[in-house]
Amino acid sequence: MQSQTKRIKVFAPATVANLSCGFDVLGCCLDTVGDEMIISLSSEPGVRITKIEGADLPIETDKNVAGVAVKALLEIYEKEIGVNIEIYKNIKAGSGIGSSAASSAGAVWAVNHLLDNPFSPHKLVEFAMEGEKLASGNAHADNVAPALLGGFTLVRSYDPLDVIKLHTPKDLVMTVIHPQIEVKTSDARSVIKQKVTLKQAIHQWGNLGGLVSGLFTEDYDLIGRSLEDVIIEPMRSILIPEFNNVKNAAIQNGALGCGISGSGPSIFALSKGMDTAKKVADAIREVYATTGLDFDIHISKINSAGIKILE
């Protein structure tokens, strides 16, 4: 029986960071979009990536986000153990829906589970952030936090790290379009001005307060009114073809709000109910069909659990 507990297959979810008004602080976890990972403990010490399918990612532990995240965990764990990691990617790298976060979060969650949970989910966020640091140079938490805690999360502070799980209204459904273009991280960064007007900032934090309030009170209209980004979206959306047309189509077809997922190029639309989310998907598919660009569309409920055990 013991050998069974030493191997686990998990679902590592995609995540949508920022959510319009919550740049660098908010994120939420998807339910039906994500990777699969098989993690097993081994008597041979060390962390090994033993298989990667679905993506061309580094197999060397120190160059792989899952490897680095698990190594960060094991540095704190008192006993010397071995870990083998198999990664089956469905989330495309560079899509803006937390591909690297899914791998980092899934790996540390699975290892923690196999070790009988010595670390809290909040502590796992710190380990997974090491994977994000490798992926983007910045140990951010806005994707790994929702992947590990599920639902909607707020990164209140990094120093010290303070991650808060918010409430998940049950009828929210996310539609995501991933235009298969490459937006260089350096471009996504360089378009962002480092100074904002106080007036813009007040506008943004008014919306953030409205969104958090709307989540707790399940006030879908308020959620919709609050899904507005007056700072980042006007700068970054220029890198995403047809952004304004997609957004208009989503809103006209009943979406509560629509914005850039993470640093893009994916665009998310949040709706009340599956029917509306599907209608929104049809509308934005129609917009993108005219471009000649390849794209994926995902429709998913919000996953309030986070990582899930498959086997």
Catalytic residue selected from 50, 61, 185, 218: 185
Question: What's the closest the beta carbon of residue 153 comes to a copy of itself, in angstroms?
Answer: 10
For a copy of itself, which is the closer residue by CB, 7 or 167? 167
Nearest to 135 by CA among 184, 85, 99, 186: 99
Nearer to a copy of itself, 90 or 153 (CB): 153
CB of 126 to a copy of itself, least distance (A): 17
Residue of 132, 153, 175, 242 marked active site: 132
CB nearer a copy of itself, residue 131 or residue 210: 210
Considering the complex, state which of residue 38 and residue 141 has its C-beta at the smaller distance from a copy of itself.
Answer: 141
Closer by beta carbon to a copy of itself, 104 or else 226: 226
Amino acid at position 50, single letter: T
The number of CA neighbours under 13 Å toward the Cβ of 229 is 23
CB 198 → a copy of itself: shortest distance, Å?
5
Counting beta carbons within 10 angstroms of the beta carbon of residue 202, is it exposed (0 to 12), middle (13 to 18) or buried (19 or more)? exposed
Which letter does DSSP use for residue 290 in this model? Answer: T
Pairwise CA distance, residues 167 & 39, whole Å: 30
How many angstroms from the chain centroid is the CA of residue 275?
A: 23
Dist. CA 65–CA 46, nearest whole Å:
15
Angstrom distance (rounded) from CA 51 to CA 72 = 20
Closest separation in Å from C-beta 163 to a copy of itself = 10
Tell me the closest approach of the beta carbon of residue 224 to a copy of itself, in angstroms: 11
Under the rule (CB under 8 A), what is the footprint of a copy of itself? Answer: 21-26, 154-157, 162, 164, 166-167, 192-199, 201-210, 212-213, 216-217, 222, 225-226, 231
How far is Cα 145 from Cα 153, in angstroms, rounded to an integer?
6
Reduced to 3 states, what is the DSSP secondary structure of residue 235?
helix
Cβ at position 263, least distance to a copy of itself in Å: 14
The yes-or-no answer on residue 185 being catalytic is: yes
Q: Which helix (H) or strand (E) element contains residue 16?
A: strand 7-17
Q: Which is nearer to a copy of itself, 217 or 244 (CB)?
A: 217
Spatial separation of the C-alpha atoms in residues 88 and 54, rounded to whole Å: 6
176 bridge partner residues? 268, 298
Distances (CA, A) of 166 to 139, 214, 215, 251, 281: 22, 10, 7, 25, 26
**C-alpha–C-alpha distance, residues 208 and 145, integer Å:** 18
175 is annotated as an active-site residue: no
The whole-angstrom separation of Cα 302 and Cα 68 is 28
Q: Which residues are catalytic?
A: 132, 185
